[in-house]
Structure 1
Amino acid sequence: MVDLIACEWLKWRRSRMLWLVLLGALLPALLVFFIMLNGASNDEPFKWKDYFELDLQILAMLMCPALFSLLIGYMFAREFQERTVNNMLSGPHPRLRVLTAKFIIALPVLLGVMLLSFLLMLGTGFVFHGAADSFAMNILLKEAGKFGQLLLLEYALVPISAAVALLWRSYIPAMGLGIFAVISEMTIMQSKYIMYYPWSAVLNISTNLSPERNSASIGYTTLAIACIVPLLFIAAYFRKADVHSG
């Protein structure tokens, strides 16, 4: 199992997709920085809580659904597109262990986006007047916890993107799923079914944009179903299906 994890990590390190981790953290941070810079020019006081949570909202609403779906789709479908799946499955390791290694590697990849984004927000925040005086460790820890919560909530949706990528044997449909998720979640955010849709449930749990409809029990149940059902499908499909590279 350790060999499989190491192999998946080496494949990921050599992938050009690694640059998307940096871009996924950098673009929201830059957007928030310029928004706050505009506010500072209007003499608005700098608040660390607002600074972190605006970045969190952009990540949860736009960046994570689209980017994470693309990254996961590529991670699970690259062997099909590169026609190396036969080599991957011809070894002595069971197929389910191969899948498990991919799911394990997915966590530090997604963590890299969230951690870089958090550190960028922390570093650029001190540029603003009064930021050093208002900085407090309890605020930092609380906001770090929210970034960690968003990471775990988004990780629960990994099996959906993985299932789409494996079923179509390409990361393009997974990328399309991410775009659809961004558009649909913003639509459903206006309805009473917000906590019954996985991506909007993640958005509302992590950012509390719609507090009157924020039911943690419903949201976590929705995410549990959205995680377990495609996970079972992946296990059954990948173990039994003919997955030759053509």
Structure 2
Amino acid sequence: MLNLIACEWLKWRNSRMLWLVLLGALLPGALGFFIQLNNSGAFEWKGLFENNLFILTMLMCPSLFALLGGYLFAREFQERTVNNLLTGPHSRNQVLIAKFIIAVPVLFSVILLSFLLTFGTGFLFTSEMPTLSVMTTIIGKYGLLFILEYALLPIAAAVALLWRSYIPAMGLGVFAVVSELTIMQSRFIMYYPWSVPLNLVTNMSPAHNTTSIGVTTMLIAFVVPLLFIGLYFRRADVHSG
């Protein structure tokens, strides 16, 4: 199993998608910098981090994570190497587990790099360190964001495996962002998987911020496609095309 994980990691590290991790961290940080630059009010560490969280949650994570997740799970189909993967010494369940494990550092690195970039950007506006209270709260929100966005990974993986390409997963990410912009303004914000993180992390709609509903929505969004992936991948043939 460790050999399989190491193999998946090497394939990821040598892929062109690695640059998207850097881009995914850089763009929200740059947008946050320009927002703060045009802010006439007094600088606040909390405001700087919350702007970054808002951009990540609303725009970057839904689209980028769907693309990265789709690529992780459908790469072998597109490169026509799935025969080697599915006929190897490891079971198909182990292959899936290895891919989900590799997705943890891949997705987490986007959020971590964006946090570090935002932290560094803050010193362009002030020489004071953020308070312990602010850092504790903000780190908790970044951690929550990662957990919620990771819970959406099986949806992108299911789409990619079903069509045997990461392109539909990329389309899913774009659809998620566009639809989220509409639903986040409605009372259904906690019933839609891609808008739940926005409300739980940034409290976008306090009147509808019911944690129990949001958690239930995310559990369904995680478990149902995960079960589908397990059944579909076990029965998938080894035809690469």
Same fold (TM over 0.5): yes
Equivalent in the alignment of 1:68? 65
Q: Structure 1 CA distance, aligned partners of 2:2 and 2:99?
A: 12
Q: Structure 2 CA distance, aligned partners of 1:112 and 1:133?
A: 26
Per-residue CA deviation, residues 47-77 of structure 1 (Å, 9 max, x unaligned), is 0000000100000000000000000001100
Equivalent in the alignment of 1:202? 197
Per-residue CA deviation, residues 64-121 of structure 1 (Å, 9 max, x unaligned), is 0000000000110010000000011121110010000000000110110000000000
More helix by share: 1
Equivalent in the alignment of 1:5? 5
**Any residues of structure 2 matched to 1:7-86 within 5 Å, and which?**
7-39=7-39, 42=40, 44-86=41-83
Q: Structure 2 CA distance, aligned partners of 1:219 and 1:16?
A: 35
Q: Structure 1 CA distance, aligned partners of 2:81 and 2:64?
A: 24
Equivalent in the alignment of 1:212? 207
- State the percentage of identical aligned residues: 68
Determine helix, strand or coil for the equivalent of 1:114: helix
Contact in 2 for aligned 1:29/1:55 (Cα 8 Å): yes
**Any residues of structure 2 matched to 1:90-239 within 5 Å, and which?**
90-128=87-125, 131-133=126-128, 135-239=130-234
Per-residue CA deviation, residues 125-183 of structure 1 (Å, 9 max, x unaligned), is 0110xx33362122112111101110000000000000000000000000000000001
Determine helix, strand or coil for the equivalent of 1:228: helix
Contact in 2 for aligned 1:47/1:134 (Cα 8 Å): no
Equivalent in the alignment of 1:89? 86
Q: Structure 1 CA distance, aligned partners of 2:225 and 2:177?
A: 20
Letter in 2 for 1:67: L
Letter in 2 for 1:149: L
Q: Structure 1 CA distance, aligned partners of 2:179 and 2:81?
A: 35
Q: Structure 1 CA distance, aligned partners of 2:33 and 2:185?
A: 27
Determine helix, strand or coil for the equivalent of 2:214: helix
Q: Mean alpha-carbon deviation: is it higher for 84-93 or for 59-68?
A: 84-93
Q: Structure 2 CA distance, aligned partners of 1:97 and 1:35?
A: 45
Q: TM-score scaled by structure 2?
A: 0.98
Q: Structure 2 CA distance, aligned partners of 1:61 and 1:38?
A: 21
